[in-house]
Amino acid sequence: MKTRFITLVALWGLLIATPALALDLHQARSGGQVGELTSGYVAAIAQTPEVKALVADVNAKRSQEYARISKQNGQSVDVVAKLAAQQIITNLAPGSSYQAQDGSWKKR
């Protein structure tokens, strides 16, 4: 439970630390251009160069943060990413897309 709390706090810090990126991510989510994956990363729904670049940037930053949290807490990166995914998906704004466990896309 302590590890989960630390993970959530660190992830929240990551989202706050990059306000311009978060704003772009929020706009892309609300516009249906990206969706959240159960793996803790985002995926491009709209296949435009801008969306692909945003997805690559967000995923690279998340990967770095997950690795840092993983090392700090002695958990695998995969565990950290999946815990983060649960929280991100739970807190998505209405209308945002996410991938369900069966691989289908759903709207919050």
Please report the pLDDT score of residue 24 as a whole number: 84
Tokens of 13: 């810090």
Mean pLDDT for the chain overall = 86
- Tally of CB atoms within 10 A around 89: 20
Dihedral sign of CA atoms 63, 46, 21, 16 in order: negative
The strand pairing partners of 107, in sequence order, are: 97
| Position 70 confidence tier, pLDDT thresholds 50, 70, 90 | very high
Residue 66 or 4, more confident: 66
pTM: 0.77
